[in-house]
Chains A and B, each alone.
Chain A
Amino acid sequence: MISRAIPQTSIYQPHLAELIRVESIAGKEKLFEFKLKDGKELGHKPGQFVEISLFGIGEMPISISSSPITKGSFELAVRAVGNVTNALHRLAVGATVGIRGPLGNGFPIDSLKSRDIVVVAGGIGLFPLRSLINYILDRRSDFGRLVILSGSRTSGERVFVSDLEKWQKRQDVELLETVDRCDEGWTGNVGVVTTLFSKVNVGPERTFVVIVGPPVMYRFVVAECKKKGISDEQIIMSLERRMKCGVGKCGHCQINGIYVCQEGPVFTYAQVKKLRELM
């Protein structure tokens, strides 16, 4: 028998947040820093997302880009592609938005502790991964090696360039970057992100690979991981779907029997490799 007890609050009620800083991070991408108006912490884990509202335009899921260690505010990085994201790009500091969340499961921090971590970012896949990378750097001694493999289409489309430069300078981070197509001024690696794998040696037992990027990227990165002998349980990925409700009701984010907003968005490859319509 199901209890039909009526909850006190609505799962669709957004909390108000104030935009306190905007920074351009690439041609179509901006970083937005928000503070909840009730003074509370968002209280997220790396890899979780929020539903952001621009009242009158709509609501959409956006992953959180800041480390939860940073208190008082949180950051969302957004590419302008649709109605809500374009409206967000037009906002000025001081504007009010709605926030529901944090939602979703986030990266499995406990499993990652004391392990070597290879982060594989394709394009704006770096947005959610930046939360994890900064968290690892905030708690550096809790983790083993940190290898970052980052791929962009062109050097002009690199996102979080200042963060990449900062990470590059650190002794305790191994960062390798590549671009798909070389354009003027780029002297680094050229080729898709998988080409960076040959430049990295990892001990498969103690390594977790965390992948976020466009759908087409996953199967090639997974193949590289398998070549290196990394088990399916140690390949972690975050999946993208259009979560309309974010709370497991609306059906939009369903992949076979899974709701990405509930069981995900972060999965191990072992969890999802048998799913169809995955990528």
Chain B
Amino acid sequence: MRNRIIKKWDITSFANTLISIGNDVVGPKRKDGKYAFDKLTDASELCLDYDTTLLPPKAYLLPPKETLVKFELGKEVKVEPVVEAKTIILFGVHPCDIKAIELLDAVFSTTNPEVNYLSRRGEATIVGVDCLSPSPNAFCPSLGTATTETGFDLMLTDIGDSYVVAIGSSKGEELLRKYAVTTEATRSELTQKEQECQKALARYRVTLNMSPGEIPQLLDKSWDSLVFKEKGEKCLSCGSCIMVCPTCFCFDVQDDIALNLKQGERYRQWDGCMLADFAAVAGGGNFRNDRESRFRHRMYRKGKYLWERYGKLGCVGCGRCADACLADIASPAETFNRLKEESLSKE
């Protein structure tokens, strides 16, 4: 991978140039003492040294609510698919969120590829930034998502007065060549990048007591663990954990019709397995009617089901669910560690 160097004052003008030539540039901004991805009007709003954002950048690829089909009723019924995608630059995405986007890519491109997601994804440019001040609930190094070699067009690493820019695609290379002032990276600058990333690893406070590959096997033997019951009993079924998750992609589909009963649309909106009605069926049945089974399902989906289907875990360790959970039960790291302890004590 080729690396360049960009000075910090030049990164601001790079981002401003991207904005001024008419791109939607979305990056982490300060919001009420925290950070949130939002459209930038000026690069001075960009906070590249953030810990985590309230919501992942997922919403720009898989919006919370999205029209799938528009229809017009009358003598002739007309139905047409709706695909909305506009060019967007996601500027300042952490490696864990990039890994989450790679999972979404797999979900929406394998078996029944989806034009809605893939069109939007095709229009997106991802400028990553290595996470040097991780959030207290994050455990990315344990899942191998603290850094990434793939999934970005450009990746920045803060080395003091400048950034090392790793070039991940020809699209990224072209942006850099056209709109940024960069210099060749020296050996010492690359060494410094490695050191900064190494130092950042020591700043994570949560650790998973197993390798990521062990999680599916651990779950294989943990179905009847009382941990799920204990956590489930505290769960408020509010769905905060799934709404802030960068890898959750489940949705509900509904119709809306105008008051004239002619024009209408079918839309999807984020939905998830922690909400009470998610597994309800016609006639009043619900296959996960209690909080324990919903909590268990979420953990299995994160640690086993998606792994089996896509070869990627459904958790990237960002810690947002733990930040958002009012009952303080949501962190997969804590549950997986508890299950591991339990399995060791049984042996």
Contacts and interface: CB of A to CB of B under 8 A. Distances in A.
Interface of A: 1-14, 16, 53, 55-60, 81-82, 85, 96, 98, 215, 240-242, 244-245, 247-252, 254-257, 262, 276-277
B107 interface: yes
Given A59-B266, A251-B250, A96 B77 contact: yes
A251 B273 contact: yes
Given A13-B81, A98-B79, A7 B281 contact: no
B114 A7 contact: yes
A55 B282 contact: no
Most B-side CB within 10 Å, residue of A2, A5, A8, A58: A2
Interface in B265-297: 266, 268, 271-273, 278-283, 285, 287-288, 293, 297
Given A56-B261, A251-B272, 9 more contacts: A4-B122, A215-B285, A240-B281, A240-B282, A244-B252, A249-B112, A251-B271, A252-B250, A254-B297
A12 B288 contact: no
Nearest to A103: B112
Contact of B69 (A13, A254, A255, A256): A13
A237 B243 CA distance: 35
B251 A2 contact: no
Contact of B68 (A12, A16, A57): A12
B239 interface: no
Nearest to A259: B309
A86 to B, nearest CB: 11
Interface in B297-336: 297, 300-301, 304-305, 308-309
A240 B280 CA distance: 11
Interface in B63-120: 68-69, 71, 73, 77, 79-81, 83, 102, 105-116, 118-119
B118 A242 contact: no
A159 to B, nearest CB: 15
B305 A10 contact: no
Nearest to B71: A55
Interface in B114-139: 114-116, 118-119, 121-122
B111 A248 contact: yes
A57 B115 contact: no
B122 A12 contact: no
A11 B114 contact: yes
A242 B112 contact: no
A20 to B, nearest CB: 15
A249 B69 contact: no
Given A10-B81, A256-B300, A249 B281 contact: no
Contact of A14 (B79, B116, B121): B79
Contact of B81 (A9, A244, A255): A9
A249 B255 contact: no
A252 to B, nearest CB: 7
A10 B79 CA distance: 12
B253 A276 contact: no
A4 B254 contact: no
Given A5-B109, A96-B77, A241 B281 contact: yes
Most A-side CB within 10 Å, residue of B150, B266, B304: B266
B99 to A, nearest CB: 13
Contacts of A8: 115
